[in-house]
Homo-oligomer: A and B are copies of this chain.
């Protein structure tokens, strides 16, 4: 559904992996400037906007801010401060079509003689984190002249140089470290404004920006007049309105020097593109907005691990090793834009052109933003690191937290190198000699390991995820590098968490709810058995047959014992003699995460590690008891992500009574990451409709008016747990790729004759299209080299082919009934 201008919560982020963002709101406005290696929700730049002037030949010129009108409330302690330009005319209406990574905005206004729409995006190429990490965006306004006469059209972008902003004064104008400067540039086939500052290269706030275009029909005012008052904007606006041509200012200011120390440092510059459009003609006005803030502090400086030993040092962003400055970024964007856009549109098309349920496409695409938000970053050398999420003004909960990132699937299947890098950090650098893993990585900055309880779910989940990464990549060197640490981490479970050696974990178990569970519970144990099963496969691969057998045995006997101990006929409980002996337990409750380990096993291709019927019963019970079509009647004194009148899945419920006096501290909350986890699992167990209902609940809550569709919040914006969403594609399409055996198999759970879905493998990605007559696999990027490809066709049974070798653009047809096709095994 396109969003109307009053969808004030909506903000579509532009920017690549590890680059920060600027977003576009539902009125088409630029908002939330978060370019400088730090979250900054709500950060505005004064006088920063696009404007359009259209003058039919012989007609009346109309100039408008290229946004739809402000929707209110219209509060502010100085009304709308001058920098907001709320007193300038805007367009009558707009519709936002946000289909991440592509944004389209349609504007309408009866008084404007021409039609105008915006397309905006930052290139996204599956399996290519570097190319998906360009610090910049394309803003392409497309203007159509519906008249029977020519029309002169100018679109001008104005940008306040944001480099060095350290805060805002009482009038909401920025204060700066250093002196920003703007300069006109005409080089490398680009024209535009280079935004710089006199901050030294090594300064944390050092950076550059560019607002540029490959269009040669430019007109510009690279630097507005400065002054004690706002002369600059008056002159700019009058200049634009007058004839659609901008004149560079010949003076710096109308105020005479010398200037006092508090004289404004604000430097605004405007770049315009001007075209005459013939009747009926359409014309693109294309701007490139790029940025380059190379320097980060060499420390998390977060809210949990307070060791910031090297915070005084600077470390560069990965992208800064690829580009010298923002102008170089713009050059790259300009040079490669056709190809970059082709890839981006192919990905967009494979997702939004699929027959996957729209709520799933919506969930997967919108949460993908997390990877390209301030939550994630890459350091020089390529190291991937991430927060759990982003507070409005700072990162939230540092260290690529294992127990939160446990839930994330998107990176593993879309940018797998990032997850491999995280596993490397975990097992090579953060797993101690005794096998205890620091569940928040401090080594990415070269700082000392964090000293805290180990997290049972995070530590064991990472082992399953290591298996997932190895299986998807087939990278044996990677596995060999990580395995020693992984084996120590696995062995650690026996000694640390199994107090009585019965193969069921039962001691003090810190976990993703930020407290410790005690006694046997299926969250920790399902994760344990999944890790053991994954460990067995990896030990086998590493030639340690003895260990493999031991892990397999432990998984089987442990699962059996746990099942007998905790399954209550409907779901798995936590076994405690007195649920109130310690706070923060759940006892007889129905925990939404109760078989999360099983879900991770499914995703990693490990199949059932617990009795299938009991697992199915458990996830069905989670849906039955914990999903509320209307949360009215649910009392919670905890954080609130879903309100009475909304639908959501609570983390725990007590359908059989036994709620502790003080249950675990998030028990009554609703987290989208767990909703996706459970939804995925429901689908894996065949409860497709139930799974989709959960997904719809999440997305209905994020409708642009209530919440931002592109930001699922938990402890922070763009929360990593929401990346569980990609699992929905895995479960629905039933895709299973094993790089080692070079097999790719699909057994769709979405019973749909006409299914079309995106898929990825470690080396290539594309679409699988099921038609009544058979199946087609089209490779849209990378390459594919398979021993075997199989598709379970709902009508024709298993279609198979192999070996299959495809390059990007290639396709293979699996036809059921055509005997002339040698690959037809139906």
* Residues of A that sit less than 8 Å from B by CB: 8-9, 41, 69-70, 72-82, 84-90, 169-170, 229-231, 233-235, 237-238, 241, 254, 303, 389-392, 394, 396, 515, 583-584, 632-641, 643-645, 661-662, 665, 668-669, 701, 705-708, 713-717
Which B residues lie within 8 Å of A84 (CB)? 640
Q: Of the candidates B74, B515, B640, which one forms a contact with A707 in the assembled complex, judged by CB atoms under 8 Å apart?
A: B74
**A254 adjacent to B716 (CB under 8 Å):** no
Q: A87 to B668, Cβ gap below 8 A? A: yes
A373–chain B nearest beta-carbon distance, Å = 12
Provide a sorted-by-A list of 12 A–B residue pairs whose CB atoms are within 8 angstroms.
A73-B705, A74-B640, A75-B713, A77-B716, A78-B639, A80-B641, A84-B640, A89-B633, A89-B644, A170-B391, A229-B584, A230-B638
* CB <8 Å contact, B584 and A637: no
In the complex, what's the smallest C-beta–C-beta distance from A87 to chain B, in angstroms? 3
Tell me the complex Cα distance, A641–B237, Å.
19
**For the complex, what is the distance from the CA of A84 to the CA of B641, rounded to whole Å?**
12
Q: Choose among B85, B169, B640, B668 the residue that contacts A637 (Cβ–Cβ < 8 A).
A: B85
CB distance from A235 to the nearest CB of B (A): 7
List, in ascending order, chain B residues with CB within 8 A of A74's CB: 640, 643, 701, 706-707
Are A89 and B254 in contact, CB atoms less than 8 angstroms apart?
A: no
Task: Give the distance to chain B from A721, nearest Cβ to Cβ, in Å.
Answer: 13
Q: Which of B73, B76, B635 contacts A88 (CB 8 A)?
A: B635
Q: Decide if the interface of chain A is mainly helix, strand, loop or mixed.
A: loop
Complex-state Cα separation, A169 to B641, whole angstroms: 20
Question: CA–CA, A714 to B81, complex, Å?
Answer: 10
Q: Would B88 and A639 count as touching, CB distance under 8 A? A: no
B637, A87: Cβ atoms closer than 8 Å: yes
Complex CA distance for A826 and B717, rounded to whole angstroms: 75
**A88, A584, A669: most-surrounded residue (chain B CB, <10 A):** A88
Cα distance, A446 to B283, chains bound together (Å): 66
CB distance from A389 to the nearest CB of B (A): 8
Smallest CB–CB gap between A61 and chain B, Å?
13
For residue A640, which residues in chain B have a CB less than 8 angstroms away from its CB?
A: 74, 79-80, 84-87
For A9, A73, A707, which residue has the most chain B Cβ atoms within 10 angstroms?
A73
CB <8 Å contact, B89 and A706: no
The answer to whether B82 and A637 have CB atoms under 8 Å apart is yes
Residue contact A78 to B170, C-beta cutoff 8 Å: no
A416 to B69, CA, bound (A): 44
Q: Among B238, B641, B662, B701, point to the contact of A234 (Cβ < 8 A).
A: B662
Q: Is the CB of B73 within 8 A of A8?
A: yes
Of the candidates A69, A85, A170, the one having the most CB atoms from chain B within 10 angstroms of its own CB is A170
What separation, in Å, do the CA atoms of A56 and B218 have in the docked complex? 76
Q: Which of A87, A669, A713, A715 has the most CB of B within 10 A?
A: A87
Further pairs besides A72-B705, A73-B705: 17, Cβ < 8 Å: A8-B73, A69-B643, A74-B643, A77-B389, A77-B391, A77-B717, A78-B391, A78-B715, A79-B640, A79-B714, A82-B637, A85-B637, A86-B640, A89-B644, A170-B394, A241-B635, A254-B583
Task: Give the docked Cα–Cα distance between A254 and B705 (Å).
Answer: 40
Contact B634 A78 (CB under 8 A): no
Checking B73, B231, B392 against A9 with a beta-carbon cut-off of 8 angstroms, the contacting residue is B73
A713–B76 alpha-carbon span in the complex (Å):
8
A72 touches B392 (CB 8 A): no
A89 CB → nearest B CB, Å: 6
Q: A170-B394, A391-B77, A707-B74 are in contact. Are A637 and B230 (CB under 8 A)?
A: yes
Q: Is B632 within 8 A of A89, CB to CB?
A: yes
* Bound Cα distance A717, B170 (Å): 12
- Tell whether, in the assembled complex, residue A77 and residue B41 are in contact, meaning their CB atoms are under 8 Å apart: yes
Residues of B within 8 A of A637 (CB): 82, 85, 87-88, 230, 233-234, 237
In the complex the two chains form, is A230's CB within 8 Å of B707's CB? no
With the chains together, A78 CA to B708 CA distance in Å?
Answer: 13
In the complex, the chain B residue whose C-beta lies closest to that of A80 is: B640
Answer whether A713 and B79 are a contact pair too, CB < 8 Å, given A73-B9, A583-B231, A705-B73: yes
Q: Is the CB of A87 within 8 A of B636?
A: yes
Q: Given A82-B638, A635-B88: A73 and B706 within 8 A (CB)?
A: yes
Q: Which residues of B contact A391 (CB under 8 A)?
A: 77-78, 170
Docked-complex contact A708 and B85, CB < 8 angstroms: no
Query: Could you say which residues of chain B place their CB within 8 Å of the CB of A584?
Result: 229
6 tightest A-B contacts by CB?
A: A87-B636, A86-B640, A79-B641, A80-B640, A87-B640, A9-B73
Q: Choose from B69, B396, B583, B708 the contact partner of A644 (Cβ within 8 Å).
A: B69
Expressed in whole angstroms, the minimum distance between the Cβ of A110 and any Cβ of chain B is 12
Complex Cα–Cα for A75 and B640 (A): 10
**Chain B residues within an 8 Å CB radius of A515:** 229
Once the chains are docked, how many angstroms separate the CA of A633 from the CA of B637?
49
Whether the Cβ atoms of A639 and B82 lie closer than 8 Å is yes
Query: Would A707 and B396 count as touching, CB distance under 8 A?
Result: no
> CB < 8 Å: which of B237, B638, B668, B705 contacts A635?
B237
Question: In the bound complex, what is the Cα–Cα distance between A216 and B648 (angstroms)?
Answer: 43
Contacts of A231 in B (CB 8 A): 583, 662
Taking a contact as CB atoms under 8 Å apart, the answer to whether B583 and A643 are in contact is no
When distances are taken between beta carbons in the complex, the residues of chain B under 8 Å from A717 are 77
- Please tell me if the beta carbons of A79 and B639 are within 8 angstroms of each other in the complex: yes
Q: Is the CB of B715 within 8 A of A235?
A: no
Give the residues in chain B near A707, CB-CB below 8 Å: 73-75
Bound form: Cα–Cα A234–B86 in Å:
45
Q: Which residues of B contact A89 (CB under 8 A)?
A: 632-633, 635, 644
Q: Tell me the complex Cα distance, A396–B169, Å.
A: 12
- Is there contact, CB below 8 Å, between B78 and A713? yes
Q: Does the CB pair B77–A390 fall under 8 Å?
A: yes
Listed residue (A69, A234, A390, A634) with the most chain B CB atoms within 10 angstroms of its CB: A234
